[in-house]
Structure 1
C-alpha cells in the first residue's frame, strides 16, 4: 500500500495567483483528475492526500472535495483555513457538511508567506489550532526553515494537536543550509505529536542539476530525528515537475531510504497520522 501524502490539483482559471511567477510557467496550466490518475497508476500509488494549493479561500474546499467522485484514490483532503478566524469552528463544520466532507482530514494555512515571526505564538492562532485539533483534524505546517523554531514551541505547548510538517520545513538545499535547519528540526522532532513529509525537497535544490546525494543528508537527518514511524512520502505533484518527474522522486527516495523504513514511510505513517479509513 503506497500513500502519496501530499499532492495538489488546480485549473488555470481558478485564481491561483502565485502561479503568475515567471519561473512557474511550466506548471501554470490545468492539472486534472485524469492527469493525476495516470501518474498514480504508472507508479503503483494506491491512495493519496489532496492538499490545498495556495488559493487561500474557503471556497477551495468545495472544489477539492468535489474531485472525490472522479478520483477514488484520494483518501483524504487537507483544506485551507485561517486558524485565527473567529469563524473557524463554523468554517470547519461547513467543510464537513459538504459532499465528501467526511474525507476532510486536515487543515493548512500558508504560514510560509506570513512575515510575522511571532505568528505561531499568537493567542488567537493557538486557540484556532486547538479548535482544529478538537475537531479531530491534523494541522499541516506549511512553513519556511526559519519558522521551525516557532513551530517547535507551538507543538510543545499544544501536545493534543497533531501537526504535520510539510516539505521538511523547506531547507535551503541549493545554498547548503543544513546546520541551522537541522538544529531547529531537532527541536521540532522532540515533540511526539509531530510527523513530517519527505516532500518538496527537489524544488528546494537546484532544479536542473540536483542529485540524490544533494538530498541524502536531509532525508537521513529527518529519518534519524523522526524515525520511520513519523515520516511519510509525499510527491508535491505537480509542483515537483519543476525539478523532477513523479517517478524519479519515488525512485530517488527509495534509493536513499533503508529497506526496513520504506513500508512505513510509503504508507503506514500517512494512514495513521491522517486517520485514513479503508473502504
Structure 2
C-alpha cells in the first residue's frame, strides 16, 4: 500500500523499484485465494491474494514484517545456512570418502532449484574454506538471486585484519564472518590475537558465526562473554554428538550459552551429526526441543547446511521436518524460525528470483 493508502496493481512484468533500497525485486509467484498466503518477494513487500493484487508496505509495517509480527503476514522463508563451491580436491580435502557425493560443483543454478522446490524465498551463503578468495567469490555469487547475504572468512587473528575488514565491509552483502573453530586446538577462541580481531567487528554490524563441536561449547561460552555487544550465531546447534546418543552435557552447555541474549542459534546440521544412513526425525527431535526451550523461537533460525545435508537428507525434507517440529507454535513463532530471525539478525534486505 502506498503512503496515500492506495493499492498499486502489478505491472505487466511484475516488477517494482524499492523506494528505500534502490534495488529491483521481482514478484515471481502469485497464488489464488485457495493457496496459502506466502511472501515471495523483497522484505518490503507482501502478497495480498485478492483479485491478484500486490500491496507495497511502508514503515513501520516494513519493520513489523521483518520481525514477523505483522498480523496475517507470513515472513519470508529464509535458509540461513548453505554452501556453494566449485569442487577442487585440494581445497575441499575435508570432503572424505564417505561424503564422496559432494565431490562436484554446487552452484547457484542448482541452489535456486532447491529453494524453488521447498518454496524458500532467499538464503545466506556460508564459507566452506578459509580463504579471502572464496569470500570474494561468494559475494560475487550473491549479486544474483536468491542469495541475500554472505557469511565469509577473513584472517581475524592477523595484524592486517582491520584493513581487510575495512575493505570487505564496504560490500553490503557481507553479513558476517566465520572461522572453522571446530578444526582448531583447544583455547583458540581465547587467544589474544583472535580476540583482538573480534574487537574490530564491534560497531560494524557484522555477525560472528560460531562453529564449534559440543565439547568446545564451554570455551565458546567464555569467548562470547568477552563480547557482550557482539552478535553471535551458533551454527548447527553446537554440533551435538547425536551419533553417540549424547545429550545431557550438550544440553547443559547450550542452555548456559542461551542465557546470553546476543546469541542466536541455527537449527541446522543435525543429520550429519547423527548417522546419515539411519537417523530419524524422532531421534533428532529432543535436541530441537532443547534449543527451542533455551533460545525461544525469536532466537532460532532454520538452516539446511546444503549441500552437506544431502548425504542423509534432501533439501526439501529438512524443511518439512522443521515445519513439523514447529507446527504447534503460533504463526508468529513459526515465522521467526522459518525466516524472521535470520532476516532480523543478519539484516537481510530482500529477495528476488
Residue 157 of structure 1 and its aligned partner are, at CA, apart by 2.2
Moved over 3 A (4+): none
**Count of residues in correspondence between the two structures:** 273
Matched-pair contact (CA < 8 Å) for 1:107–1:132: no
Residue 164 of structure 1 and its aligned partner are, at CA, apart by 0.4
Matched-pair contact (CA < 8 Å) for 2:267–2:302: yes
> What pairs up with 1:7-156 in 2 under 5 angstroms?
7-13=82-88, 15-53=90-128, 55-69=129-143, 71-97=144-170, 101-115=171-185, 117-156=186-225
- What root-mean-square deviation, in Å, do the aligned CA atoms of Structure 1 and Structure 2 show? 1.4
Structure 2: how far apart are the matches of 1:184 and 1:108? 21
Q: Which secondary structure state, in structure 2, belongs to the residue aligned with residue 136 of structure 1?
A: coil
Render the CA deviation track for 1:195-236: whole Å, top value 9, x for unaligned: 000000011111111111110000000000000010000000
Structure 1: how far apart are the matches of 2:160 and 2:312? 38
* Structure index of larger Rg: 2
Residue 62 of structure 1 and its aligned partner are, at CA, apart by 1.3
2:263 aligns with 194
Residue 51 of structure 1 and its aligned partner are, at CA, apart by 0.4
TM-score, normalisation: structure 2: 0.75
Which deviates more, 154-163 or 257-266? 257-266
> What pairs up with 1:238-253 in 2 under 5 angstroms?
238-253=307-322
Which deviates more, 150-159 or 183-192? 150-159
Residue 19 of structure 1 and its aligned partner are, at CA, apart by 4.1
Matched-pair contact (CA < 8 Å) for 2:168–2:174: yes
1:278 aligns with 350
Structure 2: how far apart are the matches of 1:183 and 1:64? 35
Q: Which secondary structure state, in structure 1, belongs to the residue aligned with residue 198 of structure 2?
A: helix
Choose which of 258, 273, 276 in structure 2 pairs with 1:207.
276
Render the CA deviation track for 1:20-67: whole Å, top value 9, x for unaligned: 4211201110011110000011111001100001x2111111110111
Q: Which secondary structure state, in structure 1, belongs to the residue aligned with residue 156 of structure 2?
A: coil
1:181 equivalent in alignment to 2:268: no
Matched-pair contact (CA < 8 Å) for 1:49–1:76: yes
Residue 79 of structure 1 and its aligned partner are, at CA, apart by 0.3
Structure 2: how far apart are the matches of 1:240 and 1:255? 18
Residue 16 of structure 1 and its aligned partner are, at CA, apart by 2.7
Instruction: Identify, as 1 or 2, the structure richer in helix.
Output: 1
1:267 aligns with 339
Q: Which secondary structure state, in structure 1, belongs to the residue aligned with residue 137 of structure 2?
A: helix
Matched-pair contact (CA < 8 Å) for 2:301–2:342: yes
Structure 1: how far apart are the matches of 2:116 and 2:273? 27
